[in-house]
Every structure is written in C-alpha cells, then in structure tokens.
Amino acid sequence: MEEYVIEMRHITKRFPGVLANDDITLCLKKGEIHALLGENGAGKSTLMSVLFGLYQPEKGEIRKNGRTVKINNPNDANRLGIGMVHQHFKLVENFTVLENVMLGMESCRFGFLDRTEAEQRVRELSERYHLQVNPDALVEKISVGMQQRVEILKMLYRDNEILIFDEPTAVLAPQEIGELLQIMKGFAAEGKSILFITHKLGEIMAVADRCTVLCKGKYIGTVEIEKTTREELSRMMVGREVQLTVEKQEQSAGEEVLSVEKLTVAAKHGKKPAVHNVSFSVRSGEIVGIAGIEGNGQTELVYALTGLLPVAKGKLILRGKDITKASVRERSLAGISHIPEDRHRHGLVLDFSLAENMVLRRYREPEFAKYGFLKKDAMEEYANRLIARFDVRSGSGADTVVRSMSGGNQQKAVIAREVDREHTLLAAVQPTRGLDVGAIEFVQRELVECREKGNAVLLVSLELEEILNVSDRILVMYEGEIVGEFDPKKTTAQELGYYMAGAKQTGGTAKEQTGKKQENKSLEASGKEEG
C-alpha cells in the first residue's frame, strides 16, 4: 500500500435537490500532480471546497498522512498545510503584494507591522520558485498572471504542502500557461502535492501524473496519465465518444457581408480607445476568428458592431448598408445575430421563462405578437421546437425559469435563439466559455453549420485551440488593434500567442501586460457553473 498525503474517502455532499458528490474517493500521493477532471456541475469544486473546509460532507472522511482529520473551515485546512488558489482571486486590490501575502499572518512587533522579515521571506520564495513577483507592487496594477502568482506566494508563505489550483489557466495567455505549468512541476519536484482542477485535456496530458474523473457527482475512476489518451479521458468525463476536433468541409468564402472600416471605439475608462483604427471584413460562408488575451478590445469591438456601444470613428457596413449609427433593433433586423460574451448580463432575462427568453429578439414579429398582445401559444410552440432541436434541458420545459437552469443549458438556449433566427452575420463571443467538452463540440458544430449555410460568422474567443479549430481566418487583437492576420492551417498556437502578447516582443512574459486589468465581472459567469 502506497503512502498518501491526503485521502478523501467516500465523500458524499448533498445540496437541496442535488447530490453534488456521491461517494467520491480521491487519494493524493506526495509529490504528485493530480488532475481533477469533470464536466460543469460534476462536483469538482464542491469536492475541493470540502477539502478546504468550506463545506462539510454528509458522509465520508478525510485523512492526512493516514490520520483522520476534521476540516471545519479554511483555517483548519491551512493548519494542515492545505492551500488553494481560487478561480477568482481573493486579493485586496489596493494592497501591495507583500501586504496581501501577509494578510491573516501578520508578523508584529509592539503592535506594529513588521514588514522587513516578511518581505525578505517573500523575496526569497519568489526567487526560489522563479515567480518574479515584486513585493512592493500594488495588486491592482499587476497583470492577472502576476496576481495568480501572488495567490501562489500566499500558499508558499504559509508553508502549505498540499496546493489546490482551481482552473488556474482559464485566465492566462498561452505563454503564461506554460510558465505556470513549469512552476507547478517545480513544486511537485520539491515534494509538494498538487491538486489541479481543469477542463483542458492538453494541460493534464502535459503535467499531471494521475487524473481522477468525476461525472455528475459520481466517481468514474483514477487513471495514470502515462497509460491513457485524451480520447479516453474525454470519454470518461462525458460518458460517450466525443469528437475533439470539429469536421469542416472545404469551402470558399462568398461575397463580403460585413466590412469594418477604421473603427475606433472609446474606452469606458482612460483616454486610450478600447478599439483603435480597426479594419477587416467577414464574407459569407466564412468564420473569422478573433484571438486575443481578455481585455484587448474584442469585447468593445463586438459591442460596437451590435450597437451596444457607440462608434467613435470609422464605419460599419453590413451588406452594402451603412449601419454605423443604426440602433440595436435595426441592426438585429438587418441580420446580425449576437451570442453575447456574458449570457447573464446580456443574453438572458434570468427570471423570465425559457419561452419568454427564446423570443427575446423576435417578440415583435407577427409570428409572436398581434395587436400589441403576445401570442403565448406561438411562443410556447417555438420554444418547444428549439428545445427539441438543440437539446436544451430544463426542469419543466418552456415554462422553466431560466435562472434555475444549468449554465451549459442557458448557453444552449442563447445559441439556439441566435442561430435559429434569420441572420446573415453571427457574432459569437466566447460561445463555449465555461462549457464542458460535450457542449463545446455541439456549439462548434453549430458555428460550422452556420458557415455552411452561407452565413458569415465572427468568432471571438480566448481559447486558441477553438480559434485554430473552427476559424477560416484568424485576426489577432492586441491593445485595441489588429496586429496580425493568419491562416489557421499555416500557423501555430505558439505564433499566435506571441502576437497576442504584443507582436514585437520576444519574451512575451506577463510583465509586458502590466496594467491590463481583467474584467472580473465577465469571469464570474464562467465561475458560476462550477458545481
């Protein structure tokens, strides 16, 4: 029998109406990187929250080095050497790095903070693990990647031996991901044990030693990474065969549908425009992918295109018609469909029923309204049709309040609505964010289908793999400008990554993105899906 540092045995955790963890066993060896894989709502985050003392399980026990322990709160977890990097960082933005690291463990002398000793330790740790963090920097001024390292420093400062990473790569650029994975490997080599929650099979294959797969709250199995394949992992996770790459017919693009001419969009804060002098076109039967690290103007570009933000300078031409000054409704009627980045903010009225949400963009059409009255029957019928066609799952069909549905099914509802209506241009922003492999496959197939029907598709995604997989043409945005155009067949993620981090630099480390603040709000959406 092998030595385990942490054993979680037969953990059962129930929430009203849902069995989040059903008899799950997870054993962590010393010095290993153990991946935890599962779809949205599979119970990964719940399981980790149990380990970190945020939830108490109804059944099961946790052992540390063979000894049964009770973890009532994160402080208990800390005492046992368990640390966690949350998906949404728990940092005080207007504190320095050092202050954040010390917070909760302040060393004092005569009631005053004693920084010198703490600072020395932070510098030491930063150096030893190649974190390159400046202890005096303000957290709000450093990049997301650096903020994550502050979270890591917090764990190290507390001498944690068991490190939990909750989807750490979701917010990082490719280069940063590479560096993080190296850092994780370094920890493992030093004898620290790592639990690594992720959706991304590639990362698991790259760094993990073993992988535990959960599906719908149940334990599926634990596999050695050396002896498994991506295909097997995704099958375990979803419970069926999954196509990891989308199949696409060769198809030449038709006439120009959208032409963006020297578009400039003002930023919400600051003087620098969010989108600066951007020109490109999208033709029918073509998927144009826009790659970029979050916050480089992609959001504003699409908002300006769909009418949610005003255009400061430049022109938007949709099929020969100038829509620069058109209202949202006019653009919608002109044929723009929009899968918004943030489905909770824009895409859905969460307290409306599914039927009401399905007509959100069409409720004025004669099909659904007559003499100013809504045709409830027609709405219901239409919703049922979309539910059947797109396999949207919900508690009570068209009457379900959307808030009660899972994130994946909410997204499916938005996609169903936008894809099904008559459109010539589909602007899809992060359509697969926070979705699991099975749902991603579905969404990407829908995008390709739109293209095959001869529609133009503009795809904005932070996932390079998705951009490379689905697009016919790739544009890279950096600081509000388009810095490169690529043919997906002739480029690599690595090359795109360099351009995404600012084309002319060579290193492409996180330092260069200093000051680019992540929009935490939109991130929350993806976080909420986690069980």
Partner 1 sequence: MPEQNRIQKIRNHPGSASFLATILAIFSGLLLGFLIMLLAGPSAAGNGILVVLTGGIPVALNAAKQLGQIFYQAVPVLLTGLSVGFVFKLGLFNIGVAGQYTMGLFFAMYAAFSFPLPSGVHWVVCLLAGMLGGALWGTLTGLLKAWRGVNEVIAAIMLNYIGMYLVDMWVQGNTAMYEASRARTKYIPASAQLPSLGISGSNLNIGIFLAIGAAVLLWIVLNKTVFGYELRATGLNPDAAVYAGMNSRRNILVTMLIGGALAGLGGACTILAPAVIPGSSVTYEPINVIAQAGFHGIAAALLGGANPLGIIFSAIFISLIRRGGSAAALYGYRLEIIDIVIAVVIYCASFSLLIRELTEKIGQKRTGAGAERSEMTKKHRTRKESGMTDRGKKEGGDTAWIR
Q: Tell me which residues touch partner 1 (CB under 8 A).
A: 15-18, 20, 41, 306, 308, 327-332, 338, 340, 344-352, 356, 360-361, 363-364, 369, 372-374, 376, 396, 401, 403-407, 524, 528-529, 531
The least CB distance from residue 204 to partner 1, in Å, is 24
Q: Which is nearer to partner 1, 479 or 530 (CB)?
A: 530
Residue 306: which of 279, 280, 275, 332 has the closest Cα?
A: 332
The least CB distance from residue 483 to partner 1, in Å, is 29
- Whole-angstrom distance, CA of residue 467 vs CA of residue 471: 6
The least CB distance from residue 329 to partner 1, in Å, is 3
Q: Which residue has the tokens 């979680």?
A: 8
What are 106's two structure tokens? 């302040």
Strand runs labelled E in 139-285: 162-166, 193-198, 210-215, 218-224, 256-265, 275-283
The least CB distance from residue 52 to partner 1, in Å, is 16
Running DSSP on this structure, what letter comes out for residue 313?
E
Cross-strand partners of 275: 265
Cross-strand partners of 479: none
Q: Which is nearer to partner 1, 315 or 362 (CB)?
A: 362
Helix axes 407-420, 520-528, angle to 10 degrees: 110
The least CB distance from residue 253 to partner 1, in Å, is 28
The least CB distance from residue 278 to partner 1, in Å, is 22
What string of H, E and C letters represents the secondary structure of 384-445?
Answer: HHHHHHHCCCCCCHHHCEHHHCCHHHHHHHHHHHHHHCCCCEEEEECCCCCCCHHHHHHHHH
The least CB distance from residue 406 to partner 1, in Å, is 6
Helix axes 144-157, 115-128, angle to 10 degrees: 110
- Whole-angstrom distance, CA of residue 234 vs CA of residue 62: 28
In our burial notation (b when 16+ CB lie closer than 10 A, e otherwise), range 146-181 reads bbbbbbbbbbbbbebbbbbbbbbbbbbbbbbbbbbb
Q: Which is nearer to partner 1, 204 or 336 (CB)?
A: 336
The set of residues, in sequence order, having a beta carbon less than 8 Å from that of 249 and lying 6+ positions away, is 452
Q: Which is nearer to partner 1, 394 or 461 (CB)?
A: 394
- State the amino acid at position 16 in one-letter form: P
Q: Which is nearer to partner 1, 174 or 434 (CB)?
A: 434
The least CB distance from residue 14 to partner 1, in Å, is 11
Q: How far is CA 176 from the centre of its chain?
A: 15
CB atoms near residue 72 (< 10 Å): 9
The least CB distance from residue 436 to partner 1, in Å, is 15
Q: Which is nearer to partner 1, 43 or 480 (CB)?
A: 43
Q: Which is nearer to partner 1, 332 or 432 (CB)?
A: 332
∠ CA 181-184-190, rounded to 5°: 145
The least CB distance from residue 427 to partner 1, in Å, is 12
**Rg for the chain (alpha carbons), in Å?**
24
Q: Which is nearer to partner 1, 233 or 355 (CB)?
A: 355
The least CB distance from residue 399 to partner 1, in Å, is 9
Q: Which is nearer to partner 1, 308 or 317 (CB)?
A: 308
Running DSSP on this structure, what letter comes out for residue 199?
S
What are 315's two structure tokens? 């022109």
The least CB distance from residue 370 to partner 1, in Å, is 9
Number of H helices, E strands in the chain: 17, 24
- Whole-angstrom distance, CA of residue 477 vs CA of residue 502: 9
The set of residues, in sequence order, having a beta carbon less than 8 Å from that of 20 and lying 6+ positions away, is 13, 14, 43, 46, 217, 531
Q: Which is nearer to partner 1, 118 or 383 (CB)?
A: 383
- State the amino acid at position 381 in one-letter form: E
Q: Which is nearer to partner 1, 68 or 327 (CB)?
A: 327
Q: Which is nearer to partner 1, 330 or 495 (CB)?
A: 330
